[in-house]
Homo-oligomer: A and B are copies of this chain.
Amino acid sequence: MPRYPDFARRTQRIPSSVFEKFRSRMKEKRSFLIQLHIGDTYLPPDYSLPIDREFLKAKPYFNRYCHTFGVDSFRRMLVKKLNEDNGFSVNVENVLATSGATNALSASVLSVLNPGDEILILTPCWPFFSGMVELAEARAVQVPFYTRLYSEPDLDIKAYLEPYLTPATSAIYLNSPNNPSGKVLSTSQLQQLSAFAKKHRLWIISDEAYDGLAFEPHQHYCIANLTYMFEQTISVFTFSKSFMFAGLRLGYLVAEEEVVKVINKTMVHQLYSPSSLSQYLMIEPLKNRQQWIPRLRAHYQELRDKAIRELRIPVHPPEGTYFLFFSIAEYLNGRSYWQVIEELLETGVTVAIGEDFGKDFSDYIRICFTNEPWEWVQKGIEKINQVLLRS
């Protein structure tokens, strides 16, 4: 029992941000630091926001608690979007509004994993997911996956995953388009994953945060829509990426009605509900999404192509998302990985650290090519070239 001044053990198991140790130096350099380590957009939302006094008058209850499953009109609009864009055929009861994809994932993990259970985390993966597994007192089992599919697209996925399975395995964490590698899984790859999950009755927590951001000619499919997969899949979406509004902390998940009810119970005990104001604000942009998402995606694709041309280190072109993820092992030139990271910081550019994305990626870095205006990203990449290619 952790009496004062001790904390619960789980708080020690959750990894701290690697930037904690650089915090003070980052603060010093703030005014000219090019931040490529954060996954966000330099753009304001590319649609008009109905945020004025008339809007507030039209929503008499905008300041009150909302239904914890979400504001009715917002959920109905989500259903329309999911059925039209993502191949679902769901109803309002299948949709739960959440405080970002983060919250949807966290509530899902707490709802399907008992203490001691294992979840297969396909890597490289979004850094925060492992910490959520720690909060649930469960165990994350990392499986190197997405980068491997770039070099081995015909990998026998079922046979490859089998050795990671134990009697304690309950679920798989899937994320396509993948942060950080940009890999977008094909239907045949999803079918193999689905056959494996089906055979072993594993829950699939499918993180579709980069929905809307798969680049031509790749297409983003939702595993939930493969035959008989809907009932054992929790599909998670967000307004932080293609809707460019991370600041609203708004997301949603789609699942069987019974699953939605259970996860809602968990979520209510984490934060009650997402902001009702955020939900009201996103109804209009959802309705008009076809007017601006394609333009945004084309712009990001152009930025991706420019970033790849600029970077003088080989990198597999991401099929979606807004990241470049690559190994710097061959560019250390006698320096340690951390010495290079410090040199980058010293020249004024931050990058995300490979080991945050999985233990097999400790010689990788990730950069986001949309977090700063292009001129800055370009300068940042130039600095990376200089530091890495210094001989």
Residues of A whose CB lies within 8 Å of any CB of B are: 1-5, 7-11, 14, 16, 38, 40-41, 44-45, 49, 51-53, 56, 60-66, 99-100, 102-103, 106, 110-115, 117-118, 128, 131-132, 134-137, 167-170, 200-203, 231-232, 240, 244-250, 258, 262, 265-266, 268-278
Contact = CB atoms under 8 A, between A and B. Distances in A.
In this complex, the member of A1, A53, A103 whose beta carbon has the largest number of chain B beta carbons within 10 angstroms is: A1
A65 B38 contact: yes
Given A5-B232, A56-B49, A246-B65, A271 B111 contact: no
Contact of A271 (B41, B102, B137): B102
Contacts of A245: 63
Given A44-B60, A249-B272, A1 B168 contact: yes
Q: Which 4 pairs between the two chains have the least Cβ-Cβ distance?
A: A247-B276, A4-B232, A3-B201, A103-B271
Given A1-B114, A11-B262, A99-B249, A271 B271 contact: yes
Nearest to A136: B8
26 contacts: A1-B114, A1-B118, A1-B168, A1-B169, A1-B170, A2-B117, A4-B232, A5-B231, A7-B112, A8-B110, A8-B111, A8-B113, A8-B117, A11-B111, A11-B262, A38-B65, A52-B52, A63-B244, A64-B247, A106-B270, A110-B135, A134-B269, A135-B270, A249-B274, A277-B277, A277-B278
A272 B135 contact: no
Given A4-B232, A10-B110, A102-B271, 13 more contacts: A2-B112, A3-B201, A8-B111, A8-B113, A52-B52, A61-B247, A63-B246, A102-B269, A106-B269, A134-B269, A247-B277, A270-B271, A271-B271
Nearest to A39: B65
Contacts of A117: 1-2, 8
A72 to B, nearest CB: 11
A249 B270 contact: no
Nearest to A133: B269
A112 to B, nearest CB: 6
Contact of A63 (B7, B44, B128): B44
Contacts of A249: 99, 249, 271-275
Nearest to A247: B276
Contacts of A100: 271-272
A117 B11 CA distance: 15
Contact of A102 (B14, B44, B62, B270): B270
Contacts of A135: 110, 266, 269-270
Nearest to A166: B1
Nearest to A198: B4
